Structure 1
């Protein structure tokens, strides 16, 4: 926001100087002012995004090292840049909300996810699930609708949407969502399989998505723990194989 205002202020100042100081023609003054606006906006945007991306990169390294609280602090330190650059605030809030959510700290995750970036489908899906758990089905559906509108190629998103509809007693709508997903995400095997499962009155199968699915915490804690143990066992086996 501030970057736009700064660029506009610089452009207006140049326009007034050219019109009244140099008596330049109005069309020429406007063209030069527009160039100044673009140049100043790009410059300030690059400065802002450089600082934001540095914080995101550092936070990413902390996440890999399981330093969740440190990652959250680093991201919160650049939240104020949301006032300077469009969409920075929603993107940072998405990251913070996702970290809290994955830690199962849903109360702290929720306010950040509410401000999340609409193109971040993982954050949007987490927000929709929060609404579901708060018994706000209408808001859950609205959030999922917005998410699939901007991320229609993501098969897991369509599957999660359908899964949550089943959880809220809407199996018919769940089938309709999977059918819509097939038109957008191409004949994805998981969508076809789960659509057939629902038609036969069976449960949806989601575990084939692995970590991407389990991060949404829609499985029981015991199931998530079993998956984590299996993943750790697989990594340890891989390491032994490499050493040999």
Structure 2
């Protein structure tokens, strides 16, 4: 990535200047490292701001149901991917979410596959896609990654347990919930899900309201908009 390469060059320059001021290889090494870290920190903040602007620019289009316009706007952010790590993956995640939320499942698939593991909604939608296709092996593999990357996200953990229980692995589902409750001991939804399974009942994912409905695994009530409030809950990652 350009930012890293230029950062290394900046570090070499600062290290060389440090050596000229005080001829010491230790000082030169320290100023080199400091130069690289400072350059990447400030450039990272700059590109994170740019990416945030791209994400914010599509909110009105989403609310107006103009998914294709929103996607084209998101793709303008690809130009930053040569400068900063993880930019393309974050944009692909958002595109995949928009397409899936609009029931364009097959179009969403290639984008969701490129999503970051930490993007819990994109990973949830990818797992839901495989679940719909009865591809339970891939569904489980995706949710395992999502569960590890989002240990404190109640929806991710409960969804994983739901998928496991619905495919006959109730014991593993209970184990997932038990592990999740150690991280989220006050989450009543996880406790209720665990109690339901122990009493041979189904998990009621409706407790997660819109988040659950966006997966299109249950009928969406009238008045609920697709892709509602999801952008605001997505975290932008930089490295």
TM-score class, shorter-chain normalisation, is 0.7 to 0.9
Any conservation in 1 of the 2:15–2:35 contact (CA below 8 Å)? no
C-alpha deviations, 1:36-86, integer Å up to 9, x for none? 323332333233223211111102232223221111111111123223212
Q: Secondary structure at the match of 2:59?
A: helix
C-alpha deviations, 1:198-228, integer Å up to 9, x for none? 2333222122321111011111xxx21xx23
* Higher RCO (CA-CA < 8 Å; seq separation 6+): 2
C-alpha deviations, 1:91-138, integer Å up to 9, x for none? 222111111110111112111111112222111111222232344323
Instruction: Count the aligned residue pairs.
Output: 225
Q: Which moved more, 1:146-155 or 1:28-37?
A: 28-37
Residue in structure 1 matched with residue 5 of structure 2 by the alignment: 5
Matches for 1:28-67 after TM superposition, within 5 Å: 28-67=27-66
Give the TM-score, by structure 1 length. Answer: 0.81
The reply on whether 1:89 has 2:71 as its aligned counterpart is no
Q: Secondary structure at the match of 1:228?
A: coil
Distance 2:211 2:164 in 1: 19
Matches for 1:86-235 after TM superposition, within 5 Å: 86-219=85-218, 223-224=219-220, 227-229=221-223
- Offset of residue 10 of structure 1: 2.4
Change in 2 beyond 3 A, CA 1:218/1:37 = same
Change in 2 beyond 3 A, CA 1:32/1:133 = same
Change in 2 beyond 3 A, CA 1:8/1:108 = same
**Over 6 Å off, 4+ runs:** none
Distance 1:23 1:205 in 2: 67
Q: Which moved more, 1:189-198 or 1:117-126?
A: 189-198
Distance 2:181 2:14 in 1: 54
Any conservation in 1 of the 2:157–2:176 contact (CA below 8 Å)? yes
Distance 2:192 2:33 in 1: 54
Change in 2 beyond 3 A, CA 1:197/1:37 = closer
Q: What residue ranges of structure 1 are gaps of 5+ in the alignment?
A: 233-244
Q: Which moved more, 1:197-206 or 1:69-78?
A: 197-206
Give the TM-score, by structure 2 length. Answer: 0.82
Any conservation in 1 of the 2:15–2:27 contact (CA below 8 Å)? no
Change in 2 beyond 3 A, CA 1:27/1:181 = closer
The structure with the larger Rg is 1
